[in-house]
Chains A and B, each alone.
Chain A
């Protein structure tokens, strides 16, 4: 019953998170090393497809409709020149994707604030990564180091998710 069949389009889309996502991708497109037009086209097409999927398509749930916008983001970060601005915009785009993925709308009062609260940790992680990028000299060594760290995080997360007993908290039953 959470997925109301007759919800208005704006509600299904989630206007505010979508606007944030769109602005992040369009800013990233402006930073395209191949020129302004290809980046803008890719960003607009990705955004339009994802928005249409969410509005018109049957509610699949789970945010699979983020695929076109994800593909657009991958293209844009790939063609962006390595610079602090590009890296900051890439992080902003990642956070915007998370926010839109949450499927928030005006019908879920309180959830937006809650989602923003939860974004503090990813934003802090991103800030740390950006700070380290300032400190470390740009080159293949630092890239390899960063990739290794990310792979370690992924392995750790997969391990935790594959063994839910680690996550399950066993407590004495309440009286």
Chain B
């Protein structure tokens, strides 16, 4: 029997509590030769049967419509579930799982109204977060909670994107065209998209919608419009998802911040019509090849949503040569890594050796460091100072290979944005 089948009505623990109590009443009635316990047992025995009889038939899914709102760190999730006519909205029980990085500030409130079930829940993003709320778990449950049945839902998961504030401005950084020998030429694609570029004689296969009828009328040839799509360049976002000495909890938290930053940057560059690639390096490299447009944004988001701290750290050399299989050398590379241990610091070295000029955005573990184990203020100050020194040393080591931005205020990328713009300007003029 498939207990997860949506057509199976299952007894809850309450049913067994009812029958346990009824069984005991029955026993004492027989043992003591008294009929009074039997009368107490009757409702307890009949109620689950009544619940069973009331269970709805059919496997039609509930329609889910939900959205998120709120500014900054606040996330307000609201929506409604529309059950089929065979299901009473009052019997619908809703549960929503909250992904890590989000804190519940106002618990889920479910309210049947008319034929639908409306719900609302307030969350707060502790740090920048890129997450997805899975579709709610919805059950039919009778009024007494004795029987339940999982209900299928027709709807999509809800993406939640809370990126650092200045990430949107990063797109204005002037990137460079990627060729075998990196140069200063801006990339240009002539095709069906972009601004008007010129006309040419039509060729077989051209869309009739692109025919320039005015120009064609003035000559005996048919002319086709051409459009020019200017790209500012190509950029590779390299996300280090390897485990470090910080431990799984800190690694997961820093990766969550890094994912949000990576998505914010990718979104900004894509809006400026740049081509963006993504590489997630755990044990192996997971690439999203260079591309542009909304479809690429979706691909990158899906890849980032699936990114988790790897169980085993892949060697840094692997990152370099695996990247060459998917991305051209010379491409502007933004490495997002905590730089918390030696192997992550080697990553930049190997990327540079393989021809990827890198800039490192390093989410600092200091703001999320757990220093509560040091009870006194003096001990805590000392511990913080040591942590700061170690961090400074780590960054100094990587600076010899690539410029590093120590990212401490997770909600702001202003420092990184300014650094990137300054760096690119220097490169262009120098």
Contacts and interface: CB of A to CB of B under 8 A. Distances in A.
Interface of A: 1-2, 4-6, 61-64, 66, 70, 73-74, 77-78, 80, 82, 86-88, 90-91, 93-95, 97-99, 101-103, 107, 109-111, 113-123, 125-126, 129-130, 133, 138, 140, 142-143, 146-147, 150-151, 153-154, 157-158, 160-161, 163-165, 167-171, 173-174
A116 B143 CA distance: 8
B50 A121 contact: yes
B84 to A, nearest CB: 8
A115 B43 contact: no
Interface stretch (B9-17, B237-245, B320-328, B372-380): B9-17
A94 B42 contact: yes
A77 B58 contact: no
A173 B58 CA distance: 8
B255 interface: no
B7 A98 contact: no
A85 B223 CA distance: 100
Given A64-B17, A118-B143, A161-B15, A95 B111 contact: no
Contacts of B5: 168
B52 A164 contact: no
B60 interface: yes
A129 B38 contact: yes
A80 B59 CA distance: 48
B414 interface: no
Contacts of B18: 98, 101
Given A63-B145, A91-B39, 10 more contacts: A1-B94, A77-B25, A82-B35, A95-B43, A98-B47, A102-B14, A118-B54, A118-B143, A157-B49, A165-B8
21 contacts: A1-B95, A62-B14, A80-B34, A90-B40, A93-B40, A94-B42, A98-B44, A99-B144, A110-B90, A114-B90, A118-B54, A118-B143, A125-B43, A129-B42, A140-B33, A157-B19, A158-B19, A161-B48, A164-B8, A170-B7, A171-B58
Contacts of B45: 125, 150, 153-154, 157
Contacts of B107: 1, 4-6
Contacts of B121: 1
Indicate the member of B43, B45, B144 with the most A CB atoms within 10 Å. B43
Given A154-B23, A167-B9, A168-B7, A143 B17 contact: no
Contacts, number: 222
Q: Which 3 A-B pairs rank lowest in CB-CB distance, beginning with the nearest?
A: A62-B13, A114-B143, A121-B50
Nearest to A1: B108
A58 to B, nearest CB: 15
Contacts of A87: 35-36, 39
Nearest to A169: B57
Given A102-B143, A168-B7, A111 B90 contact: yes
A84 B298 CA distance: 71
A138 B33 CA distance: 11
Indicate the member of B29, B41, B91 with the most A CB atoms within 10 Å. B41
Contact of B42 (A70, A116, A125, A160): A125
A143 B26 contact: no
B39 A88 contact: yes
A122 B43 contact: yes
Contact of B30 (A77, A86, A147): A147
A154 B38 contact: no
A72 to B, nearest CB: 11
Contacts of A167: 8-9, 52, 55
A138 B225 CA distance: 101
Nearest to B141: A111
Interface in B70-96: 88-91, 93-96
Contact of B10 (A95, A120, A125, A164): A164
Contacts of A70: 17, 21, 24
A6 B104 CA distance: 11
A109 B111 contact: yes
Contact of B34 (A82, A102, A170): A82
B28 interface: yes
B3 interface: yes
B98 interface: yes
B314 interface: no
A144 B368 CA distance: 70
B142 interface: yes
